Each structure stands twice: as structure tokens, then as C-alpha cells.
Amino acid sequence: MEWSDDGTIIGVRRHGESAVILEVMTRLHGRHLGLVRGGRSARQQPVLQPGNAVAVTWRARLEDQLGEYRVELLASHAARLMAQPVALYGLATVAALLRLLPERDPHPALHEGLGVLVEHLDEPTLAPALLIRFELAMLSELGFGLSLDRCAVTGAREMLSHVSPKSGRAVSRAAAGPWLDRLLPLPAFLSEGQGMAAPSVADILAGFALTGFFLRRDVFGPRGLAEPPEREKLLDLARKNP
């Protein structure tokens, strides 16, 4: 068995004296693990870092074996990401979310979204909103997507201000009145799309609260899992942002 693919490294762990097990989110083969012999060498270590974009060739005798990776660096992001706390916590949070996916299950949209996210993960003004959008994409890929493009009550596409915690559908400001205490705020940057002004701290916190509610209820809770601790650290950073 052999294939080649592009991907982003999301995890590395030691194996034996000199090898590592590399976890890569690939374009066509999903989240995939493989052994890299000599992965702890001085030559390999700078390449095998979370966040780096790589080309991998995977080989195994049988399809269900761990197999071995041969790795070529395409773009080095790790050093840049390590300099920003939001990038470190963001990458760890995203990696934890991706591990909810079945191994070797292709999710090309998430692979593409991860690539865009890594490009901007060290930019404090952009990263939080991109992380929230990635969490929305994760919910969709896991079968719990939210419908934020029109009001569940009136069908209107304008002035969307809240989300029903029951249905995951948007509600307009006009229709939300009687149920305000039961609805989740929908920040404008999620309802109005790209091109608007940078979201405020309040909008970012509302966005994380929105995705966090559905992740806890539909994803983490049923699996008996807690939220990644790095996600709470992201929220702390957002709260401290001027």
C-alpha cells in the first residue's frame, strides 16, 4: 500500500528511541498517522512540527497498519506560530477538534480551512474570528451544522441577531423579541459574512459562546469529553484584548 498527499501536521509523539508518530491532516486521506523513522534527529525535528505544511508519502504492507511516512517540508509555519500565544492555543484547540473525526476519513473542506487558518493564526486581530468559523465548519462536518443564513421564523435574510439553541437556526431581531432570554446571540461577523469591520471583543466572545454551546451539547457531552483546556485560554486572551 502506498499513496502521496499534502497536509498540515497537527501532532507529533515520540516512539522508541529515535522515531516519532506523525499526525497529519491530509487533503485526500483525512487525519492520518504514520511512523517517521529518525524523526527525532536534528535534521528532521524542525520539519516535524505542528503547523508545518508537508508533502507525505505513506507506505504499509496492509491498509490497516500504522505504516511509515516519508516527509517533505512545503512551508514552515511552526517558528512563527510559537511566537504568539493565540496561535499556540488555537492550533492545540483545532488539533483536539480534528481528533474527533474518524482517522483516515477524508474531509477536504476542513483540510483547506486548516491551511487558511494556519496562515493567519499568529495575527491576533484575525485569528479568533477564523477559529470560530473553523469550529462552525467542524460542527457541520460532524453532522451538527448551524443554519445562519435566514430567520427560522420569518425567512428573512437581514438583521439576523440570535440563534435558537434548540434548532441551531438563526432568528431575526424582529422575531427574537418574545424569546430573547432563551436565544443565543449571533455576532454580526457570522451573519453578515466577509468584508465587514473587524469584530469587537464582545462579538468574538459571543461567537465562541455560540460554537461552544453546540460543541458541548452535541459533540463533547455525548462522548463524555471535556472541552480542550486550550480553548478556555483562547477565551482568556480574547477577554484581555483591548
Secondary structure letter of residue 202 according to DSSP? H
The reported pLDDT for the residue numbered 178 is 83
pLDDT in tens, 91-149: 999 999 999 999 999 999 999 999 999 999 999 889 999 999 999 999 999 999 999 99
Residue 85 exposed, middle or buried by CB count within 10 Å (0-12, 13-18, 19+)? middle
DSSP secondary structure string, 48-90?
S-TT-EEEEEEE-SSTTS--EEEEEEEE--HHHHHT-HHHHHH
pLDDT in tens, 198-211: 789 999 999 999 99
For 66, half-sphere exposure in the C-beta direction (CA atoms, 13 angstrom radius) is 10
| Helix, strand, or coil (residue 211) | helix
**Residue 57 and residue 80 in contact, taking contact as beta carbons nearer than 8 Å:** no
* Domains within the chain, CATH numbers bracketed: 2-76 (2.40.50.140), 81-148+186-240 (no CATH)
Q: What is the mean pLDDT of residues 217-242?
A: 92
The reported pLDDT for the residue numbered 50 is 97
pLDDT in tens, 16-51: 999 999 999 999 999 999 999 999 999 999 999 999
Average pLDDT score over the chain: 94
